[in-house]
Amino acid sequence: MKKFNPLSLTLPGLAVFVIALFILVRSLSARNAYEIVLSLSALMFLLVLFLAGRWAVRRLAGLEPVWRIPLPLGAGSAEEWLVMCPNTKIPKFFRLHFFVKGRFFPQGSSEGCSVFAETSMSKAAAAEGNTSSLKLKFPLGGVFRGETSCKLRDVFGFFSFPCGNKREQTLNVRSSPCGILPLRIDAQSGAEDRRNKNAADEERYYMREYAPGDRFRDINWKSSERVNTLITRISPDNQEKITRLEIHFRNYGTPLSPKIADLWLLDRAKARLAWFLRKVKEEKSSYVFNVRGAGRSWDLNDEDEIEAFLEELSVIPFAPAQNETSNLPQSDGEIYIFSTACDTALPAFLLAQQGRPYHLFLSQPPLKEKAKEQAAVQVDSLFLRDFPAGGFMMRPGWLKPAKSKQLKVSGGKMMIDYAEARL
């Protein structure tokens, strides 16, 4: 048997052990039989709990709790994390406790906050293979890096024995949905006919799966044999045209030590971009998107590529402002811009478009002096009190009040999302 490990004692257990030992020493010197019996009983009780816990932990050495995490994770989601230990036997007066701990980096920022959440499972529930739920509600989007673990604890709170295997987790958290706005897309960027694709893409654009009514002579038997599915040739004259939308996601701001209010604005800009992509694709599947961010770009042709992009979007942080007007493609088509009030280079970027039509989706805080004018405007609020209530340890710098700042831009079509962080 392993030697006594004082780390298995919790703070209450350590206090009881020290007090009982002190009473035993004093009672022996004073020859007080009543105190001797009382202190020995307490120490024997702790010893029995310790031995029972150690014996159970040996049997649970290979315990693998099954975590069912709702994916994709979304901020503000009410979905619960479920954990199950199939047919696990634990001794009386003990319970299994499951932990999620690590650090959460809002919007992929370099400065994160500690996260801790806990749930427990009784002896009867563990023996029946039941599940236990854990509530972990992320206040905004970002990335969580931590681990899931398990401990065996007695119901009195005296001992805590690590058991099972820890599992590291890195999870992207998407922004919570934004409000619905009226949207009409009348793209002026022109259409691209699929017949202009090169020969290497011929099979992708000229063929599809067989459907009832297709002619048998149009079946490509070689391709069908290779993918184990009937593939039908399609005449190039029947191909519909696609429209490519140019989107600029301007995640420019202060990358070092950003305020929580600024991170919330970036969160709302990402939520609006996600809403835009899904809304447009739902209305017309022939639209494809070219999304340009700070330092890279994405081509999104279908829903799978959109979902993969949204997963990556959740961890994109602020980037330092840069002069990107010289790298823009020469085109007169319409563009769609998503930005925040932190983007101080936005007015210069809009001026450089030289009359090019654009739609601007801007996230910025409401100004107090315009409270009357904005009384009827919906404001997305991030409540800082939700952080400690949800198991998130806020950084002290986040509590400093941030000055409300708005960008003054004009021209084009604008949609503004107002957002603020408040206690």
Q: State how far the alpha carbon of 101 is from the alpha carbons of 137, 395, 407, in Å.
A: 13, 16, 39
Contact 349, 362 (CB under 8 A): no
Least Cα distance to 340 among 313, 367, 365, 364 occurs for 364
Contact 245, 359 (CB under 8 A): no
Residue 147 DSSP one-character state = E
The string of pLDDT tens digits covering residues 268-291 is: 999 999 999 999 988 888 889 999
**What pLDDT score was predicted for residue 5?**
55
In the predicted structure, residue 200 carries a pLDDT above the cut 80: no
423 CB-near residues (< 8 Å, 6+ apart)? 383, 384, 385
What percentage of the chain exceeds 70 in pLDDT? 83
Contact 134, 74 (CB under 8 A): no
Show the tokens assigned to 15.
């206090």
The string of pLDDT tens digits covering residues 22-45 is: 999 999 988 889 999 999 999 999
Q: What is the dihedral of CA 371, 376, 382, 385, to 10 degrees?
A: 80
Contact 292, 249 (CB under 8 A): yes
- Taking residue 393's Cβ as centre, other Cβ atoms within 10 Å add up to 13
Show the tokens assigned to 246.
């140019």
The Cα–Cα gap between 387 and 372 comes to: 30
Q: How many residues does the chain have?
A: 423
Q: Provide the residue type at 403 as one letter.
A: K
The string of pLDDT tens digits covering residues 328-387 is: 555 567 889 999 999 988 888 888 877 788 889 999 988 765 554 555 578 888 988 888
The Cα–Cα gap between 262 and 259 comes to: 5
Least confident of 98-112, 208-222, 338-352: 208-222
**Confidence band of 85 (pLDDT split at 50, 70, 90):** confident
Residue 9 DSSP one-character state = B
**Confidence band of 154 (pLDDT split at 50, 70, 90):** very high
Q: What is the DSSP string of 29-43?
A: HHT-HHHHHHHHHHH
The Cα–Cα gap between 20 and 9 comes to: 14
The Cα–Cα gap between 148 and 385 comes to: 25
Reduced DSSP (H G I as helix, E B as strand, rest coil) percent helix, strand, coil of the chain, to 5: 30, 30, 40
**What pLDDT score was predicted for residue 145?**
95
The string of pLDDT tens digits covering residues 219-255 is: 888 777 777 788 887 655 444 456 789 999 999 988 7
The Cα–Cα gap between 260 and 262 comes to: 5
- Specify the higher pLDDT residue, 235 or 260: 260
**What pLDDT score was predicted for residue 129?**
67
Beta strand pairing call for 379-383 and 413-422? parallel
Contact 149, 99 (CB under 8 A): yes
**What pLDDT score was predicted for residue 14?**
92
The Cα–Cα gap between 133 and 98 comes to: 10
Q: Where are the domains of the chain?
A: 6-59, 66-174, 195-238, 243-422
Return the residue matching tokens 């070689």. 222
Q: Which residues are paired to 381 by β-bridges?
A: 420
Q: Which residues are paired to 291 by β-bridges?
A: 247, 298
In the predicted structure, residue 142 carries a pLDDT above the cut 70: yes
CATH class of 66-174: mainly beta
What percentage of the chain exceeds 90 in pLDDT? 36
In the predicted structure, residue 191 carries a pLDDT above the cut 90: no
243-422: CATH number: 3.40.50
